[in-house]
Structure 1
Amino acid sequence: MNHEILQRIDAFAYRNRLAEVMRAPVSTIDARAPLTAAAALMAEKRIGALAIVDADQRPLGLITDRDIAHQAAMPESLGQPVHQAMAQDVATLPPDAFIFEALTELRRHQTRHLVVTDRATGAAIGIVSMSALLKLRADDALLLSTDAEEAPDAQSLKDVVATLPRLAKSLMAEGVPPRQVAGAIAAVIRDVYARVAQLAEALTLQSHGPAPAKWCFLVLGSAGRGESLLAADQDHALVHDGSEDDYPWFEKLGLHCSAILDQIGIPYCRGDVMASNRECRHNLAGWKKRIGLWVASDDEVALLNADIFFDFRPVYGEMKLAADLRALASEIGKQRTFLKRLASSIGQIEPQLNFFGGMKTKAGRVNVKRGALLPIVSGARVLALSLGVTALETEARWEAARKAGRVRPDDLVRIADCHDMALRLMLAQQLADIEKGRAPGQYVEVKRLLDFDQERLKSGLKIAAVIDLIVRYALD
């Protein structure tokens, strides 16, 4: 790994998202139009690419100035329709993806243009180009994702994971907001998961031959939401389109994935929420049954599994399977009795303030994850499910609830402030612990906080302690 480049990582690529830099609306052309018409339209609009979309505005292909230039070597071919020369393997990302993710995706597809698509509908809403992104001086941001993507073995991936604290420290020093630092960490972790799935696939192919069905590897929990800190363990699952609910091939794949992740520094999940666990591998029918059981149960473990699962995000394999699973899960997850049980479970999270308003501490530390992050994240998830919102990020989920009139604006301000503060304090504490050779965790040492931060933390813990009431009121 090039540590000199890492020292000068440009925070812009980790701070800014595609929605801020994309060109919109997308310029399109009919697939039946001749290449000469595409060239004329590009010249008129002074752009380098046109999208070809279906009736629902979902991208089917992309034609670029380079594609036309290649055809110009044979002038007679310029009269052929666009669909014969367009690229059908279109790189796409949602508008909330970070710029460095776009750079990685462009490199992966070996193309210079990427279509920005609506996360819910898949409709094209913008376009970005490699040249435009590089003008924003974001090329160094490729470093960790590229290292993960090209890692030849587990040791190389372990080096990437070991570098995450340095990335977090660099971004925080640049003044990047804590939610975006957590998002950057999560994005790199997802790239790591994707490469792990590839390495595991190669091992499984060697011992068991080709996969019996198409499949998709899913990351769950904080990495799925885009809110990872520096003490994450494994949370992953698998969906496939086989006629049977499970196959020995997928069991072997899951075991390899879990083992490699543990080897590179992402430890086994204590709750066994991993694709190596039979309960985390299903076809769509199996997942429908599994989610249905969670929804019908008031068991604490079932609710916890449902909580983690609903934040899933695909990282490798047949992405359409994940889209189908999302539609299925969102529909089942709307059941009112289930949502009320989830809301009630938030109230069972142990508050971190005592009767007199002081912070509960253990060895001088307060559990900020339990006292602040868990209620805020869980509350946002319940509200998103009730509204049918597909957003995974906690901030976006709360904002959707505000727009729907489910949450008062003044409450949302306090919740957002608590969320930012909790992430900032936990990241700072984890970095301090790592520097001292101590394992990072979810506790924050109270005495290292300024008086102002202590009072702000107490205020945050107060609003977090009533999240369940806010969510219950929103559901009524």
Structure 2
Amino acid sequence: MNRDILQRIDAFAYRNRLAEVMQAPVVTIEAGAPLTAAATLMAQKRIGALAVLDGKGRAIGLVTDRDIAHQAADPQNLAQPVGGVMQQDVATLPPDAFIFEALTDLRRHHTRHLIVADRASGAAIGIVSMSALLRLRAEDALLLAADAEEAPDAQSLKEVVAALPRLAKSLLAEGVPPRQIAGALAAVIRDVYARVAVLAESLMLAREGAAPAHWCFLVLGSAGRGETLLAADQDHALVHDGYEDDYPWFEKFGLHCSAILDQIGIPFCRGDVMASNRECRHNLDGWRKRIGLWVASDDDIALLNADIFFDFRPAHGEMKLAAELRAIAAEIGRQPLFLKRLAASIGQIEPQLGLFGGMKTRGGRLNLKRGGLLPIVSGARVLALSLGSMALETEARWEAARMAGRVSADDLVRIADAHDMALRLMLTQQLADIEKGRMPGPEVEVKRLLDFDQERLKDGLRIASVIDLIVRHALV
């Protein structure tokens, strides 16, 4: 563990996203062009890499100045086509990924360039380089993610998880917006999940041999959505491409993952939404059937499971399987009756304001997750499913709804303010509780809030209480 990182956090890498720093548009070259043409184009553009795209604009290769330099020892080699020397394992991230995620991916792929690709289509929209990112002062911020990526054992991962509150406190002191802090925490947690999968797989390889099929370990819930605070429990699943819907290997793998996560400080899911649970492990056909059952059911538990599942994001393994599962989920999840049931379930969330405008507290605390955050998050998910949007973050989902004319700009401003307020107050309370040795949770101590914050909180709870009406109107 890099002990001094938390004393030297540079918030830039956690605050800024690739869309803000990428070079766009991507400069491209045909796979059949000679290396001499690639070298000339790089010199003209003063860049160090060119992308090779397929017919749909997706990156299938990358040729760099170093690739050309390695061939220049024999001038005859420079006549060969780009496709013969290009790197085919191209690292890609969406434009809303944080800079420190890019730095981690560049290290993981042992490369100096990364393609920024549209999340839905996979089309290349920009490119970033290691040298450019380092010039932008990322410095020590990536080290926490690197600690997770390179952790040799559970104890090392436990230290990473234990460092998250101090990371959050540092970013909050830097003035980083709460949504971006939650996104940074979620990104580190996803790196932790990825490393847990690696450690679990190594145990399986030693005791059971190789997996019977290709697989992908998925993180669900707030970490998948990119909005983790400091009281998250486990939410994960697994998809594979085996002929059978499940195999004993995957059951044992899931049990290892759950046990390691609990050991390092991410407790077992109280709802058993974990890959150790048979219901959370399927091949693609199995997941199609499982999602179909959720969609067809009006059972509250089925709706809750669907809610958690639709926020999944790949953590480790065969990423193509996660993309195929996302397409299946988006297709089935657009059924109008299912969306209406999801919207109606938002209205069943108990409001945290009383009849005369007073806040409903218990022991002086108000459950801000239930009364404020949950309706906003759930409403955004319903609207994203209705639009076929691939966005996972709540902010991006609401914005997609506004762009589609489903939500007014005025409502969006109020919702965004309530979302920010809920995240900030919950995060601040969790940090205060941790410092006092208390387990962090979703409740906020109302009396410690300034009068201004109490009034803003009431405004946020009011808009949260009518989210179901806004969503139902948008679905008409």
Do the two structures share a fold, i.e. TM-score over 0.5?
yes
- The match for 1:260 is 260
Deviations, residues 322-362 of structure 1 (Å, cap 9, x unaligned):
00000000000000000000000000111101111100001
State the Cα distance separating 1:5 from its structure 2 match. Answer: 2.4
Match of 1:43 in 2: 43
Stretches (4+) displaced over 4 A = none
Q: Map 1:128-147 onto structure 2 (within 5 A).
A: 128-147=128-147
Separation in 2, partners of 1:457, 1:143: 36
Give the corresponding residue for 1:228: 228
Matched, 1:359 2:359: yes
**Counterpart amino acid of residue 208 in structure 2:** H
Shift in Å at residue 75 of structure 1?
1.3
Deviations 1:385-441 (A, max 9, x none): 000000000000000001111111111110000000000000000000000000000
User: Structure 1: how far apart are the matches of 2:2 and 2:156?
Assistant: 12
Task: Structure 1: give runs of 5+ residues left out of the alignment.
Answer: none
Matches within 5 A, 1:323-342: 323-342=323-342
The match for 1:278 is 278
Q: What residue identity is the alignment partner of 2:21?
A: V
Which residue of structure 2 aligns with residue 382 of structure 1? 382
**Which amino acid in the other structure matches residue 163 of structure 1?**
A
Q: Which amino acid aligns with 2:32?
A: R
Alignment of 1:178-193 (within 5 A): 178-193=178-193
Structure 2 partner of 1:301: 301
Does the aligned pair in 1 maintain the 2:2–2:147 contact within 8 Å? Answer: no
Amino acid of the structure 1 residue aligned with 2:85: A
For 2:79, the equivalent position in structure 1 comes to 79
Alignment deviations for residues 262-318 of structure 1 (CA, whole Å, 9 cap, x no partner): 000000000000000000000000000000000000000000000000000001000
- Mapped to 2, the partners of 1:253 and 1:5 lie a distance apart of 32
Name the residue aligned to 1:247: 247
Alignment partners' CA distance in 2, 1:138 and 1:406: 38
Q: Which residue of 2 aligns with 1:24?
A: 24
Q: Report the AA paired with residue 176 of structure 2.
A: V
* CA distance, structure 1, for counterparts of residue 90 and residue 402 of structure 2: 34
Q: What's the offset of the Cα at 1:73?
A: 1.1
Shift of 1:205: 1.2
Paired with 1:426 and 1:420, the residues of 2 have a C-alpha distance of 10
> For 2:4, what is the secondary structure of its paired residue?
helix
Partner of 2:201: 201
1:229-250 CA-to-partner distances (Å, cap 9, x unmatched) read: 0000000000000000000000
1:438 lines up with 2:438 in the alignment:
yes
User: Deviations for 1:28-72, whole angstroms, at most 9, x for unmatched residues?
Assistant: 000011100000000011110000110001111100001101111
Query: Deviation digits for residues 100-139 of structure 1, max 9, x if unmatched?
Result: 0000000111111000000001110000001110111102
More displaced 10-residue stretch of structure 1: 141-150 or 374-383: 141-150
1:412 equivalenced with 2:412 (yes/no): yes
Is 229-238 or 198-207 further displaced after alignment?
198-207
Unaligned 5+ segments in structure 2 are none
Separation in 2, partners of 1:80, 1:17: 37
Q: Tell me the secondary structure at the aligned position of residue 60 of structure 1.
A: strand
Report what 2:174 is aligned to: 174
Retained in 2: the 8 A contact 1:16–1:99?
yes
Q: For residues 142 and 390 of structure 1, what CA distance do their matches in structure 2 show?
A: 27
Taking the aligned partners of 1:195 and 1:265, their CA distance within structure 2 comes to: 14
Counterpart contact for 1:6–1:143, Cα < 8 Å: no
Equivalents in 2 of 1:233, 1:337: separation in Å?
A: 31
Cα offset for 1:2?
2.1
Cα distance in 1 between the residues matched to 2:216 and 2:139? 29
Shift of 1:89: 1.1
8 A Cα contact 1:236 1:275, kept in partner: yes
Tell me the distance in 2 between the aligned counterparts of 1:2 and 1:187. Answer: 18
SS of the residue aligned with 2:261? helix
Q: Is the 8 A contact 2:5 2:141 kept in 1?
A: no
Aligned-pair CA distance for 1:3: 2.3
CA distance in 1, matches of 2:431, 2:32: 56
Shift of 1:462: 0.4
Query: Which residue identity lines up with residue 163 of structure 2 in the other structure?
Result: T
Return the letter of the residue paired with 1:100: F
In structure 2, what is the Cα distance between the partners aligned to 1:369 and 1:73?
62
Contact 1:103 1:139 (8 Å CA) reproduced: no
- In the TM superposition, residue 466 of structure 1 has moved relative to its aligned partner by 0.4
Query: Does structure 1 conserve the Cα–Cα contact (< 8 Å) formed by 2:5 and 2:144?
Result: no
Confirm whether residue 122 of structure 1 aligns to residue 122 of structure 2: yes
For 2:142, give the aligned amino acid.
Answer: L
SS at match of 1:470: helix
Distance in 2, Cα, partners of 1:43 & 1:179: 40
Helix, strand or coil at the partner of 2:122: coil
Alpha-carbon separation, structure 2, partners of 1:302 and 1:115? 38
The letter of the residue matching 1:254 is G
Contact 1:237-1:281 within 8 A present in 2 as well: yes
The CA deviation at 1:94 is: 0.3
Alpha-carbon shift at residue 6 of structure 1 (Å): 2.0
* Contact in 2 for aligned 1:367/1:443 (Cα 8 Å): yes
Aligned to 1:102: 102
| Cα contact 1:239–1:284 (8 A) shared by 2 | yes
Aligned counterpart, 1:151: 151
Q: Is the 8 A contact 2:220 2:309 kept in 1?
A: yes
RMSD: 0.5
| C-alpha separation in 1, matches of 2:2 and 2:261 | 23
In structure 1, the residue matched to 2:452 is 452
- SS of the counterpart of 1:62? strand
Aligned 8 A contact 1:93 1:115 in 2: yes
The residue that corresponds to 2:58 in the other structure is: 58
Please list the CA deviations of residues 143-181 of structure 1 after superposition, one character each: whole Å capped at 9, or x if unmatched.
Answer: 111000110000000000000000000000000000000
CA distance in structure 2 between the partners assigned to 1:392 and 1:84 by the alignment: 37
